[in-house]
Amino acid sequence: MLREFAGEGSFGGGLGRVVMLVGNFVDGDSRVQKEARSAAAGGWETFLVGRSPGGGREEYGLGGATVVRAAEVMTATRYRASHPRRGVGGFFAYRSREVSRVKHRRQRMRQENSAMERERLEQRLASGSVSPIIAAGLRSDYAVRAAATRGLGYWVAARKQAFDRNVARSKTDPNSGLRLLLARIGGDSPAWDAQPRLVDFEDSFGPVIDELEPDLIHANDADMLGVAARAVVRARSRGRDVKLVYDAHEFFPGEIRHGDASWHVVMAGEERRYLPLVDGVCAAAEHIATAMAECYQLSTVPTVVNNMPERSTLVGVGEEVPGVRGDLELDADVPLIVHAGMVAPVRGLDAIVRALAEPGMSHAHFAMLVGSRQGHVADLVGLAESLDCGERLHLLDYVPVQELTAYLATATVGVEPFLHTPHQELTVTTKFWSYLNARLPIVVSDVKAMSGLVGEMGNGEVFVAGDAQSAAAALRKVFENRERYTAVYEADGPEATRFTWEPQAERMLALYQAVMHA
């Protein structure tokens, strides 16, 4: 793909070419999709580069933007999978899956050959062609070799079992204590050892960025930051002035990702290393922007670009849509709690499930929009069944982003029951804005950012994170007087459009202009 602009200069007939990077498949990421469409509508030639689920390169249109799903190189990740963490005790194990398989196969062949030799020996001795003394010698020789083969078999089996234990341990915690310590100390090699996907992203995305020759690179999240920074350096070495905007979706310092303790350590390290090279920073929430400015001593607080619903997806007052209630065939007077976001232990959804079994909650139903029925979702289903409320927990598929707000509007209340973590204290989720624009009351845990918004607006209740009794009490208050909480949503007043994507897009485009003309 060659760079072709109408007109003179690098900006041609438009504002320039922006390449947005995101380390996912694009399809399920409403934020980057809206960013790409808005940049294209604002006069930028826009390319959104993500991962290809099929392995090969794919391209398609998204509004006025072009999505490029890069052919994903998985060399480093596959190497890591076949060479699991070992630890001090794990050095007895085979080093890689390939070595373990080969050693195990060779031992099986060896043992089968030993059995074959025994059969041949027995046939020879049965023929009577060998004297008793020679026969005794042959039996003795075979017994020694067979014993050696059996002993080697125990050795191979023990080392293979140790390798299998390393693999199992790596699935729940891929990094050893030593690797995590080195990642905390910092440096390229420890970061890439702990998070090999960073190397794969460079191999997958780097050539695509160079091919597209952007004027501006917009890196979404820290795993794209190093890829973008190196692309900028390569472009500048060729005489092209490329600007870099970093879009922070999380606040990493002090955070812990369930199942991978090194993730946030490495991502915070990526930010510390590459933030001095960026030309502009935006963040997904106000509290994240403030925390980043303090943590990294930024001269300017990042521009806040919240992931809010587009105006076109809002539900007008009096509109009737079947939505989630219609899909569940629940009457209008049945209290319906809804959650439309990622399901993980740290999200605290078990408190809502347990709240269904609390006094005064026997009539309430809880619907979760999920992408999978496995993992923690299955755990929550098991919890509901153990509490005899399994029939009131409903699993529904995700709906398209443009339909989500209308779909949620028929519920009674939306919930965000986050547990306390450094990032979750600061974030306001995309689904919070969806609940708000669906004009739902919102019940949230007492994490800082969202509980503060609910307290400011008066559109919901706050409960103690992880406490089912507190969650049930908050939900009952909403059930008993829902109109009190929905009254804050004015049909034609400023609140109707205040929490929508369009003002956020204007901030993003203003940031683009500022960095391009700095």
Q: Dump pLDDT digits (tens) for 116-159.
A: 999 988 888 888 888 888 888 888 999 999 999 999 999 999 99
Half-sphere exposure in the Cβ direction for 9 (13 Å, CA): 7
Provide the pLDDT confidence category of residue 378 given band limits of 50, 70 and 90: very high
- What is the domain partition of the chain in residue ranges? 16-76+187-304, 88-172, 311-499
Over 90: is that where the pLDDT of 253 sits? no
Mean pLDDT of 164-181: 77
pLDDT at 125: 87
Asked if domains 16-76+187-304 and 311-499 share a fold, the reply is yes
pLDDT at 95: 84
Over 80: is that where the pLDDT of 258 sits? no
Using an 8 Å Cβ cutoff, are 41 and 30 in contact?
no
pTM of the model: 0.78
Using an 8 Å Cβ cutoff, are 405 and 30 in contact?
no
Mean pLDDT of 187-199: 90
DSSP state of 285: S
Q: Dump pLDDT digits (tens) for 310-339.
A: 887 765 544 566 799 999 999 999 999 999
Over 70: is that where the pLDDT of 7 sits? no
Q: Dump pLDDT digits (tens) for 395-419.
A: 999 888 778 888 999 999 999 999 9
Q: Dump pLDDT digits (tens) for 452-463.
A: 999 999 999 999
Taking the C-alpha atoms of residue 451 and residue 348, their distance in angstroms, rounded to an integer, is: 15
**Strand, coil or helix: what is 240?**
coil
Q: Dump pLDDT digits (tens) for 364-374.
A: 999 999 988 99
Strands 58-62 and 65-70: antiparallel
pLDDT at 183: 80
Class of domain 311-499: alpha beta
The CA–CA distances, whole Å, from 69 to 53, 194, 196, 216, 218 equal: 8, 25, 20, 19, 16
Over 50: is that where the pLDDT of 99 sits? yes
Mean pLDDT of 378-391: 97
Over 60: is that where the pLDDT of 10 sits? no
Backbone angles phi, psi at 61, to 5 degrees: -85, 150
Q: Dump pLDDT digits (tens) for 39-92.
A: 999 999 999 999 998 889 999 999 999 999 999 888 878 877 777 876 666 678
Instruction: Please list the residues that pair with 219 across neighbouring strands.
Output: 21, 246
Over 90: is that where the pLDDT of 472 sits? yes
Q: Which CATH architecture has domain 16-76+187-304?
A: 3-Layer(aba) Sandwich (3.40)
Least confident of 52-61, 157-166, 170-179, 420-429: 170-179
Mean pLDDT of the chain: 89
Q: Locate tokens 């009096």: which residue?
A: 318
pLDDT at 8: 32
Q: Dump pLDDT digits (tens) for 12-44.
A: 337 999 999 999 999 878 899 999 999 999 999
Using an 8 Å Cβ cutoff, are 175 and 260 in contact?
yes
